[in-house]
Amino acid sequence: MSENFKVIDNYLMVRMPEEIDHHKSSYISENADKFIVREQISNVVFDFEDTKFMDSSGIGIILGRYKKIACFGGKVFAIHTDNRIRHLFMISGLHKIVEIMD
C-alpha cells in the first residue's frame, strides 16, 4: 500500500483512498508521519483524485499533518478536490490552512 505515498524533493505526495473515514484514517496518518520524520519532509500534498467519500476523519488527517510540519514552515496542499471536498474544507475552516490547487 506504500505506493500511495511518494516523496518528490521535500514534498510528500499522499494518494487518498476512495473512502476516507475513521477506519482508514489511522493507516494514512501513521504512514504519512513515518515519511515526514524519516525523509525530513516539509510539505505534504494530498491527492483526492480517487476519493468518492470523506467525513470529518479526513479533516483530522490533514489538520494533524499540518500541525506536524507548520512549525518548520511547511505547507499542506490539496489537489483534484471536487466540490464536495472543497465544501467540507469550507465548513471546517480548513481552507484557511490548505492550499487548494487545480
Binding site for other proteins (CB under 8 A): 19, 21-23, 25-26, 29, 53-57, 59-61, 63-64, 84, 88, 91-93
Closest CA to 97 of 69, 25, 26: 69
9: left (phi over 0), alpha (psi -120 to 50) or beta: left
Query: Judged by CB, which is closer to other proteins: 8, or 48?
Result: 48
- Of the pair 36, 59, the CB lying nearest other proteins is at 59
Distance CA 22, CA 42 (A): 25
- Report, in Å, the least distance between residue 28 CB and other proteins: 9
Nearest distance, CB of residue 9 and other proteins, angstroms: 26
Nearer to other proteins, 9 or 91 (CB): 91
Closest separation between CB of residue 78 and other proteins, Å? 15
Is the CB of residue 100 less than 8 Å from the CB of residue 67? no
Whole-angstrom distance, CA of residue 27 vs CA of residue 21 = 11
